[in-house]
Amino acid sequence: MSECLFCKFVNHEIPTQVVYEDERAFAFRDINPQAPTHILVVPRQHIENLAAMHTEHESLMGHLLWVCAELARQEGIEAEGYRVVLNTNRAAGQSVYHLHFHLLGGRHMTWPPG
Ligand code: AMP
Ligand code: ZN
Protein backbone atom coordinates (compact mmCIF):
# COMPACT_ATOMS: atom_id res chain seq x y z
CA MET A 1 0.00 0.00 0.00
CA SER A 2 1.26 3.46 -0.85
CA GLU A 3 2.14 5.81 2.00
CA CYS A 4 1.58 8.79 -0.27
CA LEU A 5 -1.27 11.10 0.84
CA PHE A 6 -2.25 12.06 -2.70
CA CYS A 7 -2.27 8.39 -3.79
CA LYS A 8 -4.70 7.77 -0.92
CA PHE A 9 -6.96 10.56 -2.27
CA VAL A 10 -6.73 9.19 -5.82
CA ASN A 11 -7.64 5.69 -4.60
CA HIS A 12 -10.48 7.03 -2.39
CA GLU A 13 -8.80 5.61 0.72
CA ILE A 14 -9.03 9.06 2.38
CA PRO A 15 -11.90 11.43 1.55
CA THR A 16 -11.15 14.84 0.06
CA GLN A 17 -13.06 17.57 -1.81
CA VAL A 18 -12.93 16.06 -5.29
CA VAL A 19 -13.72 18.42 -8.16
CA TYR A 20 -12.78 16.24 -11.14
CA GLU A 21 -11.55 12.76 -11.96
CA ASP A 22 -11.00 10.58 -14.99
CA GLU A 23 -8.85 7.59 -15.88
CA ARG A 24 -5.60 9.58 -15.76
CA ALA A 25 -6.24 12.69 -13.69
CA PHE A 26 -7.66 13.63 -10.30
CA ALA A 27 -8.38 17.10 -8.89
CA PHE A 28 -9.34 18.27 -5.41
CA ARG A 29 -9.47 21.47 -3.34
CA ASP A 30 -6.35 22.49 -1.44
CA ILE A 31 -6.83 22.22 2.33
CA ASN A 32 -5.02 25.55 2.85
CA PRO A 33 -6.22 27.69 -0.06
CA GLN A 34 -4.00 30.56 -1.17
CA ALA A 35 -6.70 32.09 -3.39
CA PRO A 36 -10.51 31.87 -3.68
CA THR A 37 -9.97 29.04 -6.17
CA HIS A 38 -7.10 26.72 -5.21
CA ILE A 39 -7.34 23.28 -6.78
CA LEU A 40 -4.63 20.61 -7.02
CA VAL A 41 -4.55 18.61 -10.27
CA VAL A 42 -2.59 15.36 -10.02
CA PRO A 43 -1.91 12.27 -12.12
CA ARG A 44 -3.53 9.07 -10.80
CA GLN A 45 -0.13 7.51 -11.35
CA HIS A 46 2.43 8.30 -8.64
CA ILE A 47 5.14 10.54 -10.11
CA GLU A 48 7.24 12.44 -7.54
CA ASN A 49 7.64 15.69 -9.41
CA LEU A 50 8.74 17.24 -12.70
CA ALA A 51 12.30 16.04 -12.08
CA ALA A 52 10.97 12.45 -12.23
CA MET A 53 9.14 13.02 -15.51
CA HIS A 54 10.10 10.85 -18.47
CA THR A 55 9.22 11.01 -22.13
CA GLU A 56 6.39 8.47 -21.65
CA HIS A 57 4.65 11.03 -19.40
CA GLU A 58 4.46 13.73 -22.08
CA SER A 59 0.85 13.16 -23.07
CA LEU A 60 -0.19 12.70 -19.43
CA MET A 61 1.32 16.10 -18.58
CA GLY A 62 -0.54 17.68 -21.47
CA HIS A 63 -3.75 16.08 -20.24
CA LEU A 64 -3.21 17.48 -16.72
CA LEU A 65 -2.82 20.98 -18.18
CA TRP A 66 -6.01 20.49 -20.18
CA VAL A 67 -7.78 19.58 -16.90
CA CYS A 68 -6.41 22.80 -15.34
CA ALA A 69 -7.80 24.85 -18.25
CA GLU A 70 -11.18 23.10 -18.08
CA LEU A 71 -11.47 23.60 -14.32
CA ALA A 72 -10.49 27.28 -14.66
CA ARG A 73 -13.38 27.64 -17.12
CA GLN A 74 -15.78 25.84 -14.74
CA GLU A 75 -14.63 27.94 -11.78
CA GLY A 76 -15.29 31.14 -13.74
CA ILE A 77 -11.72 32.43 -13.38
CA GLU A 78 -10.71 32.16 -17.03
CA ALA A 79 -11.53 35.70 -18.16
CA GLU A 80 -9.96 37.47 -15.17
CA GLY A 81 -6.95 35.19 -15.20
CA TYR A 82 -5.40 32.44 -13.17
CA ARG A 83 -2.05 30.87 -12.37
CA VAL A 84 -0.85 27.26 -12.68
CA VAL A 85 2.12 26.41 -10.45
CA LEU A 86 4.24 23.28 -10.30
CA ASN A 87 6.72 23.30 -7.40
CA THR A 88 9.67 20.97 -7.87
CA ASN A 89 11.90 20.00 -4.94
CA ARG A 90 12.74 21.85 -1.76
CA ALA A 91 13.83 25.33 -2.82
CA ALA A 92 10.63 25.71 -4.85
CA GLY A 93 8.57 24.79 -1.78
CA GLN A 94 7.45 21.28 -2.74
CA SER A 95 6.05 19.65 0.39
CA VAL A 96 4.09 16.69 -1.05
CA TYR A 97 6.10 14.42 -3.35
CA HIS A 98 3.28 13.40 -5.69
CA LEU A 99 3.32 15.72 -8.69
CA HIS A 100 0.55 18.34 -8.52
CA PHE A 101 -0.37 21.44 -10.48
CA HIS A 102 -1.75 24.23 -8.30
CA LEU A 103 -4.62 26.02 -10.07
CA LEU A 104 -5.00 29.42 -8.41
CA GLY A 105 -7.45 32.18 -9.23
CA GLY A 106 -10.12 34.57 -8.02
CA ARG A 107 -7.76 37.32 -6.88
CA HIS A 108 -5.08 39.57 -8.32
CA MET A 109 -1.61 38.03 -8.20
CA THR A 110 1.79 39.62 -8.14
CA TRP A 111 5.07 38.80 -9.82
CA PRO A 112 7.69 37.67 -8.98
CA PRO A 113 6.28 34.88 -6.79
CA GLY A 114 7.61 34.64 -3.22
P1 AMP B 1 3.47 21.86 -2.49
O2 AMP B 1 3.94 22.69 -1.32
O3 AMP B 1 3.64 22.50 -3.82
O4 AMP B 1 4.04 20.46 -2.43
O5 AMP B 1 1.89 21.75 -2.32
C6 AMP B 1 1.30 20.84 -1.47
C7 AMP B 1 -0.10 21.33 -1.26
O8 AMP B 1 -0.86 20.28 -0.71
C9 AMP B 1 -0.20 22.52 -0.30
O10 AMP B 1 -0.80 23.63 -0.95
C11 AMP B 1 -1.06 21.98 0.84
O12 AMP B 1 -1.93 22.94 1.38
C13 AMP B 1 -1.80 20.84 0.16
N14 AMP B 1 -2.26 19.81 1.06
C15 AMP B 1 -1.54 19.21 2.05
N16 AMP B 1 -2.30 18.32 2.70
C17 AMP B 1 -3.52 18.36 2.10
C18 AMP B 1 -4.75 17.67 2.33
N19 AMP B 1 -4.87 16.78 3.31
N20 AMP B 1 -5.81 17.96 1.52
C21 AMP B 1 -5.70 18.89 0.54
N22 AMP B 1 -4.55 19.56 0.28
C23 AMP B 1 -3.49 19.30 1.05
ZN1 ZN C 1 1.40 9.36 -4.73
Q: Is 27 inside any structural domain?
A: yes
How many structural domains compose the chain? 1
Residue 88 sits in a domain whose CATH number is 3.30.428.10
Domain that holds residue 34: 5-105
Side-chain half-sphere exposure of 64, counting CA atoms within 13 A: 27
Task: List pLDDT tens digits, range 53-65.
Answer: 999 999 999 999 9
Q: Is 72 inside any structural domain?
A: yes
Q: Tell me how far apart the alpha carbons of residues 67 and 63 are, in angstroms, rounded to a whole number.
A: 6
Q: Is 110 inside any structural domain?
A: no
Closest ligand 1 atom to residue 94 Cα is 4
The ligand whose atoms approach the alpha carbon of 30 most closely is 1
Q: Is the CB of 94 under 6 A from ligand 1?
A: yes
Q: Is 47 inside any structural domain?
A: yes
Cα–Cα nearest to 13, from 39, 44, 38, 36: 44
* pLDDT values of the chain reduced to their tens digit, one per residue, 114 residues: 679 999 999 999 999 999 999 999 999 999 999 999 999 999 999 999 999 999 999 999 999 999 999 999 999 999 999 999 999 999 999 999 999 999 999 999 999 998
Q: Is the CB of 31 under 6 A from ligand 1?
A: yes
pTM exceeds 0.85 for this model: yes
